[in-house]
Structure 1
Amino acid sequence: MFAEERKTRILEIVNENDRIEVSDLTQQLQVSESTIRRDLQDLEQAGLLKRTHGGAVKLENTSFEPTMDEKELVNIEEKMEIGKRAAAFILDNDTVILDAGTTTLQIAKNIEAKNVTVLTNSILIALALSKNKDIKVVVTGGYIRGEILSIVGPITDKIIQSFRVDKAFVGTNGITIEDGCTTPNIDEAHTKNMMIQSAKEAYIVADHSKFGKISFARIADIDEIHGIITDKSIDEAIIEKYKSNNIQLIYG
């Protein structure tokens, strides 16, 4: 197989699987790791994929972020499933941080615990919880990102840093073992990290489509979080990979 044919095949494999490991490519294409690494470097320089530690991922616009309306139309059933599963972790008298997002909004709608205090940077979550007499709502200050109706920025971060809560539930646009949890917006990433640092237990809530994807700004490394709450459609190969790395996946 000529070099260009091999590179074309690599692109096909990456686009079919979203991500691939160097070791897998060496087996499939019957060439050395050094050859594969050179091919990946050439493909990355050509803007056709993104290299990661030990492999590569399908190239996506890492700065792109859909609007709230667009997010609400994607994986609705999975987000409702995650919302119910995550809400079950919230106990009576808990203090909780809920990040802005469509998945965390589902958590808010499913809280059954009593005497809960929720700190949130989401206008929609604050409105949804205002109808629940068993929940006290604290809303952060800051500036509003109109695209997703979240409140972020230095004021938001300072407020979050002044609290210590039992649990935080934080959304993400992408998640990999190598690159951690990522999101397109720098301010969002920093606010989400503050939430994680302010909680005794921090959970990432992400449907199965977020695995293997990488966005522009890092929220946190995998070892900074307590667990990942996802849906039952998560691929078995991903489950095994995360288990082998001692990462708690909560699903099904």
Structure 2
Amino acid sequence: MFAEERQNNIAKLLKDKSSIRVNELSEIFNVSESTIRRDLQEMEERNLLMRTHGGAVGVNRTNFEPNFIDKKNEREADKVHIAEIAATMIEDGDTIILDSGTTTLEIAKRIKAKSLTVITNSIDIAAELSLKEGVETIVAGGSLRVSTRAMVGHIAENTFRNFRVDKAFIGTNGISIEEGITTPNMVEAQTKKAMINCARKVIVVADSSKFTNVSFAVICPVKAVTSIITSEDIDKTIIKSFEEIGVDIITK
């Protein structure tokens, strides 16, 4: 297969997937990884994709954002697995932030700790925590984004600036060593930054499909994160690359 034909097929694959990895393409086209990297470099120069650590994303996907309902039905088993791990990290007496999201909502459902203070920008998480004894819930004000059911904007950001918490659990759409932790919406990214800035430990919760994805708005560099809880199907080479820069990847 000639390079041009292979690159056309790579472009077609990126229309159906948010991201694709070099080793995956190497297996699909039965060529070396160095050949695939050259293909990706040439395609990036022609503005057909954006290269990321270990792969590529389509250039037209950085601002794509599935709504809350779509995300809720996506990889449900992985969300539950991640949430169960996260819930064990919450101790009696902790002060925590729970970012709005489908995975963080699953964390809220599984909280067992007592004498807990939770600050959240999620109306769904607030409703869930209202059913639990021993949890004081503080809800950030702001503008409600209907698509993600998150309270965002200056009012929400100012709420978080008034607190210092032990742990913040943050959801995201993209995780890349080069590009950082990213999300499609600029206003939502700013609110997440405010959460991160007031937390002693920052724990990102995201399934393995978010790795090497790059969205429009940068939340923070990867090194600003304490750890990432993800699904067990993550590539071991990704785990190693993150551990090398001091970010702990937790899968069980």
Q: TM-score range by the shorter chain?
A: 0.7 to 0.9
Which residue of the partner structure matches residue 40 of structure 1? 43
Aligned to 1:240: 240
Inter-CA distance 238–147: structure 2 relative to 1 (3 Å threshold): same
Structural mapping, 1:196-235, within 5 Å: 196-235=196-235
Shift in Å, 1:8: 3.8
Aligned runs of 1:27-106 on 2, under 5 Å? 28=32, 39-43=42-46, 45=47, 48-52=48-52, 56-59=55-58, 61-106=61-106
1:18 aligns with 2:17: no
TM-score by length of 1: 0.87
Q: Give the TM-score taking structure 2 as reference length.
A: 0.87
Q: Secondary structure at the residue paired with 1:196? A: helix
Structure 2 stretches of 5 or more lacking a match?
none
Q: How far has the Cα of 1:236 moved from its partner? A: 2.2
Q: Distance in 2 between matches of 1:236 and 1:134?
A: 39
Would the alpha carbon gap of residues 13 and 244 (structure 1) be closer, same or farther in structure 2, given more than 3 Å must change?
farther
Whether the 8 Å contact between 1:6 and 1:29 is mirrored in structure 2 is no
Q: For 1:30 and 1:65, locate their aligned partners in 2 and report how far apart those are by CA, in whole Å.
A: 32
The residue type paired with residue 18 of structure 1 is: I
Distance 1:64 1:55 in 2: 21
Identity, % of aligned pairs?
Answer: 42
Helix, strand or coil: the match of 1:168? Answer: strand
In structure 2, do the counterparts of structure 1 residues 211 and 149 end up closer, same or farther at CA, with 3 Å as the change threshold?
A: same
Deviation track 1:184-240 (CA, whole Å, cap 9, x = no partner) reads: 111110111111110000110001111111111011111101110112222223222
1:110 is matched with which residue? Answer: 110
Structure 1 unaligned blocks of 5 or more: none
Runs of 4+ aligned residues of structure 1 deviating over 3 Å after TM superposition are 5-17, 35-38, 40-43
Structure 2: which amino acid aligns with 1:96?
Answer: I
